[in-house]
Structure 1
Amino acid sequence: MKKTIDYYEVEPTVKEALGECVPSRHDSLRFAKSLFPCLNWLPRYNWRWLLGDSIAGLTVGLVVIPQAMAYALLATLPPDFGLYTSFAGAATYWLFGTSKDIVIGTTAVGSLLVGEVISHVHESRPDTYTSAEIAGTLSFMTGIILFAMGLFRLGWLVEVIPYIPVSAFITAASISIMCTQLPVLLGIHGVNTREEPYKVFISTMKNLGGTKLDAAIGITCLVLLELAKFVFAKLEARQPARKKMWSIMSSLRLTFAMLLYTLVSFLVNRNLKEAESKFRIVGHINQGFVHAGLPDLKPDLIGVVLPQSPIIIIILIVEHIAIAKSFGKKHGYEVAPSQEIMAQGTANIIGPFLGGYSCTGSFGASAVLSKAGVKTPMAGLFSAFMLLLALYALTGVFYFIPRAALAGLIIHAVSNLVASPSTVMKYWRLSPFEFFIWVAGVVIALFTGLETGIYVTTGLSFLLLLVRIARTSGEFLGRVTVQQIDPSDYEQSLSANAREKAPSCDIYLSLSRKDASNKDIPVESPHPGILIYHFPEGLNYLNQAMHFKTLTDYVYTHTKRATEEPECDKSEALWCDKPAVYKGDTELPVLRAVVIDCSTIHNIDITSVQGLVDVRNALDRWASPYSIEWHFGGLRNRWARRALTAVGFGQRATENGHAIGSWTSILPLARSFDEAHENRRRQSSTDDESMIGTRTSTEIESSSPATPAEKQGLRPVFPTDRPFFHADLDEAVTAALANARRSECRSGTETETEND
């Protein structure tokens, strides 16, 4: 009897799956340590890191101060609330964050959304809650949600949010911010900036006659900032050796502009009261943390705020993670999305205790921090020190800051967030459908509201995804033999002798030729009656019906029945029955095997399995009295293999109740790396000479001779009890081809015997 090598598949169990979800003691300790990434680098902190962090942190502090005050006005809050918010983010991020380049603080888009929530609550509960109470409650509730998401490691949910809706939202929000700041820039009063952006713009244009001296401050500030940005960018390009210096100078242009216009305002308004000032100024700012204390969380206010929080949570997460990943890729380190969300949540929870509101990663401040040479997240403490200094020592200076200058700063900052024409054209080239979704998102957000815009675009993106998954047609593949040539010696590789010796392999291309392959190269089925089917988007309950209809329709039109159906009364036939033989059928092959390319299949659901069973039954009736073979190439997932095995796939087939006598499987083998077995084998062979004559006849008879494969240390790569589950598509096709040829030979022999 021929000895074989066996390796039997162990099916997965529910107990095994649940056991994988239970963390071990080591996993628990590692998780606890991962909650505080600072423990990994604090023991190695040194003076060089301290120098880099202090310079970068203090530099960012100078940039953050005017930004925080300006963005607080977007949230319809006093300027000092922006300083409280930025302080909370800077002081807490280093404990939980995984990026050295991130600065958590106020952002333009986040502040705009907070302002919209405050406006919504004031409309639904007039004269009930202050803006500070609303902002604090919103920040605390979003912080709790963010902290929980990070703690339970739900950072992967970020990937569920498509890029296009977020891009459209940020562009629309930036345009909306610029429209709302335009009346402030020009000193125009009486414009309702909480309306839709197009209404704000139209109202501003109608009231241009009411322009005040503020316009001179705002417009010149905006021009100065744009000019400084242009000049420093040119200097960076012309003087690469001083690029870092010019980059930092460019980042500080906001601070310099605020200092300049604060000085101008002081000289003009120093002897005037706030109501008598020549142009609108920030006015009185409280010194220190006068709003610090326990947030007053009223159930009614929480009930009003929570429905408004999803859009804010989405934007806070996406904006922060995008910035963190961007700088991580740039500087060669990885960030943990879940831990970053947890750090965000901590800052948003602590913020209301100090008087702050919702915060997230700031791209502008983070870029300054990165360019300033930051070494560790500890730089945030130095930024917090600058904010602390501003709150206790510079509030008197902030009194004279012109509001028009802050409006110019905001417009200048958010103008960079609007998608450029080149970016929009890139969307068109990458995916025209997503380009139209982006355009629709921007238009809807500008004319109906930001919240409606992001919800509509997200819904359209998911709809597009579902359509692509559910309505993507499968492909029937054919085989092409290709030769591999040496690219270093192209001419020599094309010689006749070289082509004969060149290694070749089989690749599989679509028979429809709708792909990017060369149409001049013929692609043919490997054998008449063998079909190879590929699922471009995997197999699931959404697309299984379309795939299986495509498969059966192709079989009915490209193969014929193995035997003619017995004649029956035509009146008893169904109207949809296909005639047993029709003109042209005689040239078609008989269906012998279906090869499924499972390279895109990882999991399989019950609906898909049942659909596959229905197709098998239909094709068995078509090929009756024979049973066709089903080969699966590249199916690796144990649960998917278990599901298909449960309904009869993967195992040996029969014909007419009798096993196929000449059937054999393709058995891929690989060398074993079991060092213990190898050492025992070597030790056994070494001791053979010394043991000659000492072994009994019983021992000699009971010893099993190793197979040739075992002698070479070869073992099966995949289980041998699932012969129709193959390592890859090529092996599956080879097995189907070999069995089809054996079946033809057997059929030919049986025919000759019957004739004799």
Structure 2
Amino acid sequence: MTRTDLTATAKRWVPALEWLPNYRKTDLRGDLIAGITVAMMLIPQAMSYALLAGLPPYIGLYAAVLPLLVYAFFGTSRQLAVGPVAMVALLVASGVSGLAELGSERYIALAIGLSLLVGIMQFGMGVFRLGFLTNFMSHPVISGFTSAAALIIGFSQLKHIVGLQLPNTENIALTFWNTITQWTDINPMALTIGLGGIVLLLIIRRINPMLPGAMIAVVLSTVIVWLFDLDVNAGLSVVGAVPAGFPELSAPDVSLGDLRDLLPIALTIAFVGFIESIAVAKKIAQEKGYEVDPNKELVGLGLANIVGAFSKAMPVTGGFSRTAVNKNAGANTGLASMITAVLIGISLLLFTPLFYYIPNAILGSVIMVAVFGLIDTHEVKHLWQVKRDDLAMLGVTFAATLVLGVKTGIFLAVGLSMLWFVVKTTRPHYAILGRLPGTMVYRNIERRADAETTPGVLALRFDAQFYYGNVTFLKDTLKKAEANMTTPLRAVVLDASAVNQLDSSADTALHELLQDYRNRGIQLLFASVKGPVMDVMQRSGFAEKLGQENFYLTTHEAVEAASD
């Protein structure tokens, strides 16, 4: 292999080799500002999301250093801010809590092992180019799942806001009930700091979304706790001692049996994490005028999680809110993420004693404000006006996730998306066509009252690929249309302009239709048959059996021939 080939291969697997050698000085200012801004946002978020996952806060900080550096080299998005996110944190807690006691050494080891398993899965999906699988998750279903999960995540932080020892549950009603029944034990100082943090964060967001609201709230509350010794005098729960420096690089302390037990939740996190990441990455790439490669994104996220597992990090992915801040702050390349990682690394080396007095209540308020912004009321309004059957899918997913939990909800969301896809392809749209007066144009007679049909001729357009799943539907549709005709049927024109594929079952059905129509003295004609469909018809002998004289370029030509 020549040096040129090696360079091309390296660039294909390491996208940073494309932009680093050609880095423009004009991009540095934006990357520097974005890197600093996101670091100030990520430090409190990383600790908050670790807490949400049932892990010590420093595990979240570990997840905000090496994984960011790795993704910056191997990812294709220039603005995606990788790190701990609320959705993945909740899934970690949901999946690992059934295997070990929350916060125990074994729990931490399993969570780190989960990072390794998630990384291997995502890396494998990227290498084998399976990024297309996310296309089966419809946007309404994702929106319903995300909104419900946001509510579950938000209310899971109620225990920190009120300072109560509440059981870990995804049942919002149960969380409310436990809080109400223990209202006399609520810690007034935790409630004051928690609610005050929420109000402060909302005010800062309203004044200027670019301001590091989370960092401002954390610093203010930490100074207050330190000044008045509220952890002692008011029994306020704080982060406590955070180990200084970086952890020793080592393989996760888990067995093969542990990895087997973690497989279901790892698969869920790998899938959900990638969906969240690719959704925001694609949106911003479209705004910026470039493209992201889903398969390379999987490789980048996979390697970030694998390396993270060896540095005792929780699973990571791209986050909605941080990515938006990264973009708005001026990020132009992956250097912004590198700067963020370096700054958090410096914080781990020098500033961990300052983290001791951070109140858990303020971290809970950071999570609440962040995740409640993910509740998508705009999509509900949009679907109510545009597509109410999709709104029903959103509603079912939302309700099921709230009632059954996040793990069950995501699998239900995937299943519903698949089922809806099957339903739409097995019962596709079709149109009985009529000619617009004075033209050679044919349109759906249900939409155009002036469209005129030809007596005895049924012209029908089938708007989907023709395969085994909708064979029966086409036959039934033709029978129904024939039964509704006011004159005896003598010719059928099938407009195949929207048919892209034809499988063997559908081809067999066409042979049967042709034989049935010929036995009844009815002519069958085709219009606008595409090349791939014609190839199948020719190989199967259908084209020869029908006769080339019964294939036409346009519906008008076919109807005219049938009329003659």
Q: TM-score per shorter chain, which class?
A: over 0.9
Q: Distance in 2 between matches of 1:149 and 1:31?
A: 19
| From 526, 530, 550, the counterpart of 1:636 | 530
Aligned to 1:330: 287
Residue 630 of structure 1 contacts residue 650 of structure 1 at CA under 8 Å; is this kept in 2? Answer: no
| Pairwise CA distance, 1:80 | 0.7
Distance in 2, matches of 1:166 and 1:279, equals: 37
Return the alpha-carbon distance in structure 2 between the equivalents of residues 127 and 229 of structure 1: 32
Structure 1 residue 419: Cα displacement: 2.1
Matched residue type, 1:536: D
Q: Which has the higher contact order (CA 8 A, sep 6+)?
A: 2
Task: Assess if the C-alpha contact under 8 Å between 1:631 and 1:650 holds in 2.
Answer: no
* Residue 357 (structure 1) aligns with: 314
**Among 548, 555, 558, the residue aligned to 1:729:** 555
Q: 1:210 aligns with which of 185, 188, 195?
A: 185
How far did residue 724 of structure 1 move?
4.0
1:268 corresponds to which of 228, 244, 247 = 228
In structure 2, distance between residues paired with 1:27 and 1:634: 45
- The 1:300/1:39 distance shift into structure 2, 3 A limit, reads same
Aligned to 1:616: 514
Query: In structure 2, do the counterparts of structure 1 residues 506 and 201 end up closer, same or farther at CA, with 3 Å as the change threshold?
Result: same
Corresponding residue number in structure 1 for 2:477: 550
Match for 1:114: what amino acid? V
Equivalence map 1:304-703=2 (5 Å): 304-420=261-377, 422-472=378-428, 474-481=430-437, 505-511=439-445, 513=446, 515=447, 517=448, 519=449, 521-525=450-454, 528-552=455-479, 554-555=481-482, 558=485, 588=487, 591=490, 593-623=491-521, 629-638=523-532, 640-651=533-544
State the TM-score, normalized to the length of structure 1: 0.70
Cα distance, 1:615 vs. partner? 1.2
Determine which structure has the larger helix proportion and give its number: 2
Correspondence 1:68-87 to 2 at 5 A: 68-87=46-65
Unaligned segments of structure 2, at least 5 residues: none
Q: Residue 178 of structure 1 aligns with which residue?
A: 154
Does the CA-based 8 Å contact 2:15-2:75 persist in structure 1?
yes
What are the superposed Cα offsets for residues 154-213 of structure 1, whole Å, 9 maximum, x if unpaired?
211111112222212211111111211112101123x10235222112111221111112
Classify the secondary structure of the residue corresponding to 2:442: strand
CA drift of 1:276 comes to: 6.4
How far is 1:589 from its partner?
Answer: 5.3
- Deviation digits for residues 283-312 of structure 1 (CA, Å, limit 9, x no counterpart): 000011235312234111011000222321
Change (3 A) 1:196 1:100: same
Give the Cα–Cα distance (whole angstroms) in 2 for the partners of residues 354 and 324 of structure 1: 25
Contact 1:438-1:457 within 8 A present in 2 as well: no
Q: Which structure would you say has the larger Rg?
A: 1
Cα separation, 2, equivalents of 1:433 and 1:221: 39
Alignment partner for residue 257 of structure 2, among 275, 295, 300? 300
Which secondary structure does the structure 2 equivalent of 1:594 belong to?
strand
CA distance in 1, matches of 2:61, 2:103: 26
How far 1:117 moved relative to its partner?
Answer: 1.4
Distance 1:295 1:265 in 2: 35
**Aligned pairs, number:** 560
306-315 or 455-464: which moved more? 455-464
1:258 Cα deviation from its structure 2 partner: 0.9
Question: Aligned residue for 2:17?
Answer: 39
Q: Tell me, what secondary structure is at the counterpart of 2:441?
A: strand
Secondary structure at the residue paired with 1:221?
Answer: helix
- C-alpha distance in structure 2 between counterparts of 1:289 and 1:470, whole Å: 55
1:520-545 per-position Cα deviation (integer Å, ceiling 9, x unaligned): x24222xx443322113332211111
SS in 2 for 1:417: coil
Alignment match, 2:40 = 62
Asked if 2 retains the 8 angstrom alpha-carbon contact of 1:57 and 1:369, the reply is: yes
- In structure 2, the residue matched to 1:258 is 218
The runs of at least 4 consecutive aligned structure 1 residues that moved more than 6 Å come to 26-31, 126-129, 274-277
CA shift at 1:506, angstroms? 1.8
Supply the distance in 2 between the matched residues of 1:127 and 1:78 (Cα, whole angstroms): 7
CA contact (8 A) 2:121 2:267 kept: no
8 Å Cα contact 2:63/2:83 also seen in 1: yes
Tell me, in whole angstroms, the C-alpha distance in 2 between the residues paired with 1:117 and 1:264.
Answer: 36
For residues 277 and 290 of structure 1, the distance between their equivalents in structure 2, rounded to whole angstroms, comes to 33
- State the distance in 1 between where 2:103 and 2:370 align: 33
Q: Which residue of 2 aligns with 1:97?
A: 75
- Match runs of 1:157-172 below 5 Å: 157-172=133-148
Q: TM-score with structure 2 length normalisation? A: 0.93
Distance in 2, Cα, partners of 1:107 & 1:557: 57
Q: CA deviation at 1:481?
A: 4.0
